[in-house]
Amino acid sequence: MTDETLRGEDSIIQEFLAPLASGYPGAFGLRDDCATIVSPPGCELVVKTDPIVEGVHFLPGTAPEDIGWRALAVNVSDLAAKGANPVGYLMAMALPAAPARAWLKRFASGLQEAQLAFGCHLMGGDTDCRPGPLSLCITAFGSVPSGRMVRRGSARVGDQLFVTGTLGDAALGLALLKEPALAQWLGLGASQVASMTARFLRPQPRLGLRPLLLAHASAAMDLSDGLMKDCGRMCAASDVAAGLEAAALPLSDAVRKAVAADAGWLKTAASAGDDYEILAAVPAAGVADFTAKAAILDFPVARIGQIRQGAGVRMHQPDGADMTFERTGWDHFLD
């Protein structure tokens, strides 16, 4: 072992990862092969695995802290959309080479920040060295009252569709990271640039919406592959259609500036991935209560459309025409 490079799986685990598991007894200090978890009385566990890969889900050269945050956040985002309370996670790390100590320390600190923010702990995992890009495969565990997981396939005709936050920020942030000169062209100030890039680099699972989803949503999912595509998945699973209003899409000031400079950005906001906002279907009878409680919690939600009979998703424009999309969202086998 040199001072800069850690050699040996066991030393990586004990020095950098075991501290992340110290708050979870069922991790056995990462000194066992397996971890244990129990569904609390009256609850079931919600589980999700969503890997991130360098060059696919984040840019090469991304700060290790941001990689650690993202790896956990994208999984906890799914739990949040299901109404589940995060408990813990397993992490399989695949590294292209023995990592530098400094890199591991920063990576672990990003995970630690995410754990604190989301209220969960590392439970176990695996560390491999193999060719190919850095890959982190986290499996996250949450709990919901038994039978209460908010499903994707249970939206009903007449439900109103809501999204949290604003759409397209992460897509704009990613574009700014790739092409910083874009900021000047779009007329964005430094704080707007920082805000948009943060929206891409540090996805924020919408855990605050959990109680409202459990109380009011007939269906929900997080938006990771773009509104049009993910809404299409909700509709397909629910055997319904959706009508969305382009004018109702919640946009940040920065994305509004982008749309003003190039109208194509509105289409991007409706179809680009990495928003990690929540799409929720709320039965009409509960809408007033849902929006009132969201206002009390100061949680931004916007009504963007409704569930209809039929199939597919249409995005209506103010002129009455439907917006057309060559692609509705990210697909690993088409993009």
Q: How far is residue 243's CA from residue 241's CA, in Å, rounded to a whole number?
A: 7
Contacting residues for 300 by C-beta, under 8 A, at least 6 apart: 164, 165, 166, 250, 294
Contact 101, 1 (CB under 8 A): no
Conformation bin of residue 53: beta by default, left when phi > 0, alpha when psi is -120 to 50 = beta
Q: Does 6 bind a second copy (CB under 8 A)?
A: yes
Q: Does 280 bind a second copy (CB under 8 A)?
A: no
Q: What is the DSSP letter of 165?
A: S
Q: Does 63 bind a second copy (CB under 8 A)?
A: no
Q: Does 91 bind a second copy (CB under 8 A)?
A: yes
Q: Does 102 bind a second copy (CB under 8 A)?
A: no
Q: Does 274 bind a second copy (CB under 8 A)?
A: no
Q: Does 59 bind a second copy (CB under 8 A)?
A: no
> DSSP E strands: which ranges in 99-236?
121-129, 135-145, 160-164, 219-222
Q: Residue 59's closest CA among 274, 331, 326, 327?
A: 274
Q: Does 48 bind a second copy (CB under 8 A)?
A: yes
Choosing from 22, 25, 49, 187, the residue that interacts with a second copy (CB under 8 A) is 49
Q: Which stretch, 113-121, 144-152, 208-216, 265-273, contacts a second copy (CB under 8 A)?
A: 144-152
Count, residues near a second copy per rule CB under 8 A: 68
Q: How far is residue 155's CA from residue 235's CA, in Å, rounded to a whole number?
A: 7
Catalog residues that contact a second copy under the rule CB under 8 A.
6-10, 12, 26, 28, 31-39, 44-51, 53, 55-56, 78-79, 81-82, 84, 90-92, 94, 98, 123-133, 135, 137, 139, 141, 144, 146, 149, 151-153, 221-222, 233, 236-237, 331-334
